[in-house]
A and B are shown apart, each in its own frame.
Chain A
Amino acid sequence: MALKHKTPMLDELMKGPWPSFVTDIKRVAERKPQCDDILGLMELSYKDREGHWKHGGIVGVFGYGGGVIGRYCDRPDLFPNVAHFHTMRVNQPASKFYKTDVLRKLCDIWEEKGSGLFNFHGSTGDIILLGTTTDQLEAIFYELTHELGMDLGGSGSNMRTPEGCVGRARCEWSCLDTQDIVYDITMRYQDELHRPAFPYKFKFKVSGCPNDCVAAIARADCSIIGTWRDKIRIDQEAVRAYVGGELVPHGGADGPEKRPLDIQAEVIDKCPTKCMEWDGKNLKIWDEDCVRCMHCINIMPRALRPGEDVGATILVGSKAPILEGAQLSSVIIPFMKMEPPYEEFHEFVGKMWDWWMEHGKNRERLGELIQRLGMREFLRATDVKPDPRMVNTPRYNPYIFYDPDDVPGGWSRDPKAYRERHQP
Chain B
Amino acid sequence: MPFDPNDIMKDRLTDIGPPKYDKFFPPIVKENYGKWKYHEILEPGVLLHVSETGAKLYSVRVGTARLVTVDYIREVCDIADKYCDGYLRWTTRNNIEFLITDESKLRPLIEDLKSRGNWFPIGGTGASITNIVHTQGWIHCHTPATDSSGIVKAVMDELFEYFGSHKLPAQVRIALACCLNMCGAVHCSDIAILGVHRKPPFIEHERVQNVCEIPLVIASCPTAAIKPKKVGEYKSIEINEARCMFCGNCYTMCPALPIADQDGDGIAIWVGGKVSNSRVPPMFSKLAIPYLPNEPPRWPSTVKAVKKIVEIYASDARRYERIGEWINRIGWERFFEKTGFEFRHEHIDDYRLAMTTWRTTTQFKF
B69 touches A19 (CB 8 A): no
Contacts of A21 in B (CB 8 A): 65, 67-68, 149, 153
**Bound-complex Cα distance A168 to B22 (A):** 12
Is residue A336 within 8 Å, beta carbon to beta carbon, of the partner chain? Answer: no
- Interface residues in A5-42 by Cβ distance below 8 A to B read 9-10, 12-13, 15-22, 24-25, 27-28, 35, 38, 42
One of A9, A53, A168, A323 near B296 (C-beta < 8 A): A9
Assess whether A277 is interfacial by the CB under 8 Å rule: no
> CB-nearest residue of chain B relative to A210?
B277
**Contact between chains at B87 and A19 (CB < 8 Å):** no
Contact of B142 with A323 in the complex, beta carbons under 8 Å: no
Partner of A10, one of B22, B91, B297: B297
Report whether B20 and A210 are in contact in the complex, using a CB–CB cutoff of 8 Å. no
| Size range of the chain B interface in the assembly | 35 or more
The verdict on A218 contacting B90 (CB below 8 Å), with A97-B25, A170-B49, A183-B18 known, is: no
Residue of B nearest to A87 (CB): B140
Q: Which residues of B contact A51 (CB under 8 A)?
A: 137-138, 141-144, 260
* Contact call A256/B320, Cβ cutoff below 8 A: no
Q: Please, which residues of chain A bring their CB within 8 A of the CB of B23?
A: 93, 99
B31 to chain A, nearest CB (A): 11
Please name the residue on chain B nearest to A216 by beta carbon: B275
A116 within 8 A of partner (CB): yes
User: Are the C-beta atoms of A211 and B276 separated by less than 8 Å?
Assistant: yes
Interface residues on A, range: 35 or more
Given the interface pairs A54-B142, A151-B16, the reply to whether A107 lies near B70 with Cβ below 8 Å is yes
User: Given the complex, which residues of B lie within 8 Å of A302, measured CB to CB?
Assistant: 38
B198 on the A face (CB < 8 A): no
Q: Which of A142-150, A342-350, A403-411 contacts the other chain?
A: A142-150
- What 1/0 flags go to A178-220 for Cβ under 8 Å of B? 0110110011001100100000000000000011111101110
A13, A51, A54, most chain B CB atoms within 10 A: A51
- A236 on the B face (CB < 8 A): no
Q: A24 contacts which of B1, B69, B156 (Cβ < 8 Å)?
A: B69
B120 within 8 A of A: yes
A31 to chain B, nearest CB (A): 10
Q: Which of B77, B140, B278, B282 contacts A100 (CB 8 A)?
A: B77
User: B12, B143, B160, B255: which has the most chain A beta carbons within 10 Å?
Assistant: B12
CA distance A288 to B127 in the complex (A): 31
Residues of B within 8 A of A328 (CB): 188, 282, 284
Q: Is A156 an interface residue (CB 8 A)?
A: no
Given contacts A172-B39, A294-B277, contact A120 B91 (CB under 8 A): no
Interface residues of B in 13-56 (CB under 8 A from A): 13-26, 29, 33-34, 36-43, 49
Q: Is A95 an interface residue (CB 8 A)?
A: yes
Given contacts A20-B65, A21-B68, A213-B92, contact A298 B153 (CB under 8 A): no
A194 touches B87 (CB 8 A): no
Which of B18, B39, B284, B320 is A326 in contact with, Cβ under 8 Å? B284
B142 engages A71 (CB within 8 Å)? yes
Is B38 a contact partner of A169 (Cβ separation < 8 A)? no
Contacting B261 at CB < 8 Å: which of A50, A248, A292? A50
Chain B: minimal CB distance from A225 (Å): 8
Q: A100-B80, A255-B166 are in contact. Are A111 and B86 (CB under 8 A)?
A: no
Residues on B with C-beta less than 8 A from A101 are 86
Shortest Cβ distance from residue B333 to the other chain A in the assembled complex, whole angstroms: 24
Interface of B is mostly: loop
Interface 0/1 of B111-152, CB less than 8 Å to A: 000000011110001110000010111111111100101100
Bound-complex Cα distance A102 to B86 (A):
10
- How far does the Cβ of A137 sit from chain B's closest Cβ, in whole Å? 10
Indicate whether A390 reaches chain B with its CB closer than 8 angstroms: no
Q: Please report which residues of chain B, range 169-215, place their CB below 8 angstroms from some CB of chain A when the two chains form the complex.
A: 171, 183-185, 187-188
Do the beta carbons of B118 and A13 come within 8 Å of each other?
no
**B89 at interface, CB cutoff 8 A:** yes
Q: Does A85 contact B (CB under 8 A)?
A: yes
**Are B320 and A270 touching (Cβ within 8 A)?**
yes
Given known A18-B157, A46-B150, A251-B40, contact A97–B24 (CB-CB < 8 A): yes
Residues of B within 8 A of A253 (CB): 41, 125-127, 166, 171
A52 at the interface (CB under 8 A from B): yes
By a CB distance below 8 angstroms, the chain A residues around B284 are 326, 328
Query: Which residue from B89, B120, B278, B353 sits with its C-beta under 8 Å from A19?
Result: B120
The CA-CA distance from A182 to B20 in the complex, in Å, is: 10
Partner of A99, one of B24, B65, B126, B275: B24
Q: Which of A22, A119, A168, A194 contacts B36 (CB 8 A)?
A: A168
Give B3's nearest chain A residue, CB to CB: A142
- The one of B21, B66, B71 in contact with A182, judged by C-beta atoms closer than 8 angstroms, is B21
Interface pick from A55-63, A375-383, A413-421: A55-63
What residues on B are CB-neighbors of A53 within 8 Å? 138, 140-142
A104 at the interface (CB under 8 A from B): yes
Q: Determine which of B3, B14, B137 lies in contact with A64 in the assembled complex, contact meaning CB atoms within 8 Å.
A: B14
Asked if A387 is at the interface of the complex by the 8 Å CB criterion, the answer is no
A117 to B136, CA, bound (A): 12
Q: Which residues of A contact B222 (CB under 8 A)?
A: 322-323
Instruction: State the CA gap A149–B24 with chains docked (Å).
Output: 12
Question: Are A325 and B275 neighbours in the complex by a CB distance under 8 Å?
Answer: no
- Give every chain B residue within 8 A of A94 (Cβ-Cβ): 18, 21
A93–B19 touching, CB < 8 Å: yes
**Contact pick for B185, options A47, A218, A254, CB 8 Å:** A218
A399 interface hit (Cβ, 8 Å) = no
Given contacts A13-B154, A51-B141, whether A19 and B63 have CB atoms under 8 Å apart is yes
Residue pair B24, A98 in contact (C-beta under 8 Å) = yes
Question: Within the complex, what minimum Cβ distance (angstroms) separates A371 from chain B?
Answer: 11
Is there an interface contact between A165 and B141, defined as CB atoms closer than 8 Å? Answer: no
B21 adjacent to A93 (CB under 8 Å): yes
Q: Is the CB of B77 within 8 A of A103?
A: yes
Q: Which A residues are CB-close (under 8 A) to B275? A: 212, 215, 217-218
B277 touches which of A46, A212, A250 (Cβ 8 Å): A212
Please list the 7 inter-chain residue pairs (A to B) with the smallest Cβ-Cβ separation, ordered nearest first. A253-B126, A16-B157, A252-B41, A55-B142, A179-B21, A45-B138, A210-B277
- Residue contacts A-B, CB under 8 angstroms, 20 given: A19-B63, A20-B118, A25-B69, A55-B252, A98-B24, A98-B89, A123-B185, A150-B18, A151-B14, A151-B15, A151-B16, A171-B39, A172-B49, A187-B17, A213-B92, A218-B282, A252-B43, A253-B127, A255-B167, A271-B279
**Given A293-B279, A324-B352: 13 more A-B contacts, CB < 8 Å:** A10-B150, A13-B154, A15-B157, A19-B65, A24-B65, A94-B21, A96-B89, A97-B87, A103-B77, A169-B29, A210-B276, A293-B278, A322-B222
Query: Which A residues contact B (CB, under 8 angstroms)?
Result: 9-10, 12-13, 15-22, 24-25, 27-28, 35, 38, 42, 45-56, 62-64, 71, 85, 87, 91-104, 106-107, 110-111, 116-121, 123, 130-131, 138-139, 142-143, 145-146, 148-151, 163, 165-166, 168-172, 174, 177, 179-180, 182-183, 186-187, 190-191, 194, 210-215, 217-219, 248, 250-256, 266, 270-272, 292-295, 298-299, 301-302, 321-326, 328, 362
